[in-house]
Amino acid sequence: MEQITNVMEYEPIAKAILPKMVYDYYASGAEDQWTLQENRNAFSRILFRPRILVDVSNIETTTTILGFKISMPIMVAPTAMQKMAHPEGECATARATSAAGTIMTLSSWATSSVEEVASTGQGIHFFQLYAMKDRNVVVQLVKRAERAGFKAIVLTVDTPRLGRREADIKNRFALPPHLTLKNFEGLDLGKINRTNDSGLASYVAGQVDRSLSWKDVQWLQTITQLPIIVKGVLTAEDAKLVIEAGAAGIIVSNHGARQLDYVPATVMALEEVVKAAQGRVPVLMDGGIRRGTDAFKALALGAAGVFIGRPVVFSLAADGELGVRKVLQMLHDELELTMALSGCRTVKDITRNHVVTPWDPPRITPRL
């Protein structure tokens, strides 16, 4: 697929390949899908203020997240059930992410286990966690990720109930019978319903804990030494509470617009969270990243890094591991070019002054 020139070109290829139920599951958002569109549209309203005559003969895209040096501030978000996209699923994604020198986050609802992903190589892996009603299951999942060498726990907090994804309702979405949620194999599941063919909504609704609260973020720290990153923050108020609860990082996320429709695009919510965090913990972001220019804009607004989700599963469906590798390489190259054309030699050189947003006050042009 040498003719592919940007990550968005993989989606129509994936749509043609995948069963409708699977494509719709990956692609759709909640209800009217306004936020799904807004996650992309919001980036188009943020413009650049490039600086000129800077020596950009050498551009350095490397950065450090939670002490881990990575090749670029672009990482892989947790996306569920990747073997629906490709037989090698999460393992192919892990190999591609490792080859790119960046971080992969494995979904709790993966179709490959933490052990299988760990066996793919020396890549840096984070584990995304949903809090279950049965805390014993949570303990088992966390310990399993620890033993497999995962480096952080990403706690998703915006899903006390599953958002209304009407495409899944119409398609009667269910995990294909030849696949399983591998991280739950071999666990003592206690009261948890073992069936996985009753449709995603009823399956998840019966397991995810609707009573999850701030005390649980603190409890999670008592069962693991791994840093806890809280995913699903959209407001300054919650950012402050995340830090007070002892979390090591924040991911500004609206769950790929799959939960509550008509929340802001994540890039629109980013700056208020960054200001509330006051540099005490890294603030990361996902949602709508499709270009290196998008990543640059997020970094300029204070993000320490960004995560991509749908581009991974679409490229995985289209061309397996090679597709994911190409997506990560294209985004790296686009970010590098954007940095050069904006006068930024390193990631740290990217500042708020490199972008202009709709909410900026009017600039006063000095008299010459």
Give binding residues as ranges: 25, 78-80, 107, 128, 130, 156, 165, 231, 253, 255, 258, 286-290, 309-310
Query: Active-site residue among 86, 125, 178, 255?
Result: 255
Binding-site positions for FMN read 78-80, 107, 128, 130, 156, 231, 253, 258, 286-290, 309-310
In 28-184, where does DSSP find H-type helix? 34-44, 89-100, 114-118, 135-147, 166-171
- How many CA atoms, within 13 angstroms, populate the side-chain half-sphere of residue 267? 33
Instruction: At 199, give phi and psi (nearest 5°).
Output: 95, 140
| Tokens 């990361």 -> residue | 284
Question: What are the C-alpha distances in Å from 104 to residues 61, 194, 306, 365?
Answer: 18, 27, 12, 44
Q: Give the Cα separation of 66 and 43 in Å (integer).
A: 26
Comparing CA positions, the residue from 64, 35, 87, 55 lying closest to residue 266 is: 35
> How are the residues of the chain apportioned to helix, strand and coil, as percentages rounded to the nearest 5?
45, 15, 45
Binding-site positions for glyoxylate read 25, 165, 255
CB 261 within 8 A of CB 29: yes
CB 46 within 8 A of CB 180: no
- How many CA atoms, within 13 angstroms, populate the side-chain half-sphere of residue 169? 8
Orientation angle between helical segments 10-17 and 310-342, nearest 10 degrees: 170
Question: What are the C-alpha distances in Å from 44 to residues 6, 51, 55, 196, 341?
Answer: 16, 20, 28, 40, 18
Q: Give the Cα separation of 355 and 345 in Å (integer).
A: 16
Q: Is 332 one of the annotated active-site residues of the chain? A: no
Q: Give the Cα separation of 355 and 265 in Å (integer).
A: 17
The residues that are catalytic are: 255
